[in-house]
Amino acid sequence: MKPLLTYFILAYLISWGIWAPLYLPKLGITGLPIFPHQHYIGSFGPAIAAFIIMYALKGKQGVADLMRRIVIWNVPWRWYMIVFAATSRNYRSFLYYCHDCLFYG
């Protein structure tokens, strides 16, 4: 099977396998465990799939190369400032709008 197609299939299977207990009660399927922050954990499905595919194709050296490429960012400094500003703005607006639901149940 082609590596890219395998990656997409695996990424969807991992993510939706983790998210399934959150959505299946709407379909009448209950009794599955639901963990705190499960929706967040499912978002790592594509990254997990990338590591699995890289290990299957190139072994430990491929995973090490992938890790090395993840931490190398060759972007101008202004992009760091843009990302920092957008992230802090989103976090502040989240705290403003969700203060009651976070701190008062």
Question: pLDDT tens track of the chain, all 105 residues?
Answer: 799 999 999 999 999 999 988 888 888 888 888 887 788 888 899 999 999 999 999 999 999 999 999 888 788 888 877 777 777 776 666 666 665 565 554
Q: Which two tokens mark 37?
A: 């922050």
90 and 60, same structural domain? no
Whether residue 2 sits in one domain with residue 29: yes
**Are 68 and 21 part of one and the same domain?**
yes
C-alpha separations of 34 from 27, 44, 49, 63, 95 in Å? 15, 17, 22, 31, 25
Is residue 14 located within the same domain as residue 64?
yes
Same domain, residue pair 7 and 54 = yes
Q: 80 with 55, same domain?
A: no
Domain check: are 65 and 52 in the same one?
yes
Domain of residue 81, residue span? 75-105
* b/e 28-54 (16+ beta carbons within 10 angstroms → b): eeeeeeeeeeeeeebeebeeebbebbb
